[in-house]
Amino acid sequence: MRKFVLDRIEENKAVLECENGESVTLEIKALPPNIKEGDVLVFEEGSFFLNEKETEERKQKIKNLMDLLFE
């Protein structure tokens, strides 16, 4: 299982950041529907899946860091 974060969507392409910091560009149709920038995706058994739990945890962690930074 490999994890990725959706960095951005450009036209019909998605740019994913891998755990090791490398970027991968894919056709958007290869990913689950209704994904958004910042979503955590896992690649298993030849397909990408949205990991809702890790996406929410990541968003909360970023929010907490922002709160600390701007207190």
Tens-place pLDDT, residues 33-48: 999 999 999 999 999 9
Q: Which amino acid is at 8?
A: R
- The pTM for the full model equals 0.88
35 in Cβ contact with 16 (< 8 Å): no
pLDDT in tens, 3-33: 999 999 999 999 999 999 999 999 999 999 9
d(CA 26, CA 33): 14
| Amino acid 29: pLDDT | 94
| Amino acid 1: pLDDT | 84
Question: What sign for the dihedral angle of Cα 36, 42, 46, 49?
Answer: negative
